[in-house]
Amino acid sequence: MVIGGDAAGMSAASQARRLKGPDELEIIAFERSRFTSYSACGIPYWVSGDVGHRDDLIARTPEEHRERAIDLRMRTEVTEIDVAGRRVRALDRESGDTYWTGFDKLVIATGARPVRPELPGIDAPGVHGVQTLGDGQALLDSLDAVDAGRRRRAVVVGAGYIGVEMAEAMLKRGFEVTVLNRGEQPMATLDPDMGRLVHDAMDGLGITTVNGASVTKILTGPDGRVSEVATDERTYPADVVVLGIGVEPEAELAREAGLTVGPHGGLLTDLAMRAVGHDNIWAGGDCVEVLDLVAGRTRHIALGTHANKHGQVIGSNVGGGYGTFPGVVGTAVSKVCDLEIARTGLREKDARAVGLRYVTATIESTQRAGYYPGAKPMTVKMIAEHRTGRLLGVQIVGREGAAKRVDVAAVALTAGMTVEQMTALDLGYAPPFSPVWDPVLVAARKTVAAVRGAGS
């Protein structure tokens, strides 16, 4: 039995079905919304118009799941888990009926819920989250409702990766865009010196980013629709407001059933993705905490890449196979227009928080040979442990071809390499793809010098 019919839940169901046929394993999946198995990651690109149609984001329809003998019950919410009695209570949101049904093995994949502060005006027409396909459709309808013949203004609240991606989407839709960011710089998953580069590039794209801005209320016009966003400093005119303030694990249902949650509010699991202390319950995706292999602590990182892997592991174990999820190194990529942003491992403040001493080095390079057409600047920041030179983290900001370079660093982190070992990596080179010294190698060399220069 699966609770939650998106990335983690349906990956688990599909993988279990691959391993065991319907005669051996009955699979029931509950999904409270109208959509299943879709890419929320694609919502900013659908809203921007880069992706043509909502259905392009749907990987598998409910009918396709049912054809594979998965009893997917849409618009059905699980409202209670009875762990000892091995049953759940389901609410059919169409009919209002509730019923109990039993399980042998339970998979909890309830995802995350967006942070939505209780501000005056937050529920006004024209204020939108972008968590689900339904949210994306409501935002698109709202954009259409704003008269295209005049100046149109969008305010994006939050400057994490969803905030900056939505800023791009609004820009492409012809809106003037202001991003209100409570932090010191946009992209708080980067160190502030790298976030500053994102801020400046957004400025160059015509996106106004206001740092240190705390939204206090949302004001409405005579038609009841959003008209302005107020911070503690001033107000910003807005025809539409997009909220991208982050998410929290949706773990309340499981917590009420007695399952263990960690310091970040997510469910805790073992390496097989089994809920801690329960032999027949698994949990994965945005509702769990993951082990950060660099910091040696659990964190809550809501990413589809993890959710799909969790689902695969859970499905293997539920289906009688074997799988484990060892943890993450914290890799994430994003973009705003042509600016690519990437990070992996620890930021400076993360290293300090776990008591690590470190050195840093930052280099400027280009993603292609400097003489090759289209060569654009790229900045790489590298963090390594004091004395040992073990790689701790990498952040990259640049144009086309910059972001996915972080994968080299992710592999190096996973392998526990030192920056000295990284300098000898046999990375590919030809002028259209990189300078003869790849920027990652240049950064590694400079970091080696910093490690040596820092002495003992």
Nearest approach in angstroms of CB 385 to ligand FAD is: 27
Q: How far apart are CA 259 and CA 253, in angstroms?
A: 9
**3-class secondary-structure state, position 4:** coil
Nearest approach in angstroms of CB 7 to ligand FAD is: 3
Q: How far apart are CA 307 and CA 49, in angstroms?
A: 26
Residues 6+ apart with CB under 8 A from 217: 119, 120, 121, 229, 230
Residues 6+ apart with CB under 8 A from 289: 249, 261, 262, 263, 264, 266, 267, 268, 298, 299, 300
Please give the residue whose beta carbon sits closest to ligand FAD in the complex: 285
**Burial of residue 272 (number of CB atoms within 10 Å: 0-12, 13-18, 19+):** middle
Nearest approach in angstroms of CB 31 to ligand FAD is: 5
The nearer residue to ligand FAD, 247 or 294, going by C-beta atoms, is 247
The answer to whether residues 89 and 78 touch, using CB atoms and an 8 Å cutoff, is yes
Nearest approach in angstroms of CB 302 to ligand FAD is: 5
Q: How far apart are CA 179 and CA 135, in angstroms?
A: 19
Q: How far apart are CA 210 and CA 352, in angstroms?
A: 27
Nearest approach in angstroms of CB 3 to ligand FAD is: 5
The nearer residue to ligand FAD, 8 or 180, going by C-beta atoms, is 8
In 3D space, the residue among 31, 52, 40, 55 whose CA is nearest the CA of residue 130 turns out to be 40
Respond yes or no: is residue 41 known to be catalytic.
yes
Type and span of the H or E element at 446: helix 439-453
In 3D space, the residue among 341, 328, 139 whose CA is nearest the CA of residue 244 turns out to be 139
The nearer residue to ligand FAD, 25 or 41, going by C-beta atoms, is 41
The nearer residue to ligand FAD, 107 or 448, going by C-beta atoms, is 107
Cα end-to-end span (Å), the chain: 55
Question: Which one is catalytic: 41, 69, 124, 230?
Answer: 41
Q: Which residues bind ligand FAD (CB under 6 A)?
A: 3-9, 30-33, 40-41, 43-44, 77-78, 109-112, 130-131, 162, 250, 253, 285-286, 302-305, 307
Q: How far apart are CA 87 and CA 103, in angstroms?
A: 6
The nearer residue to ligand FAD, 1 or 444, going by C-beta atoms, is 1
The nearer residue to ligand FAD, 31 or 420, going by C-beta atoms, is 31
Nearest approach in angstroms of CB 418 to ligand FAD is: 28
In 3D space, the residue among 235, 226, 231 whose CA is nearest the CA of residue 212 turns out to be 231
Positions marked catalytic: 41
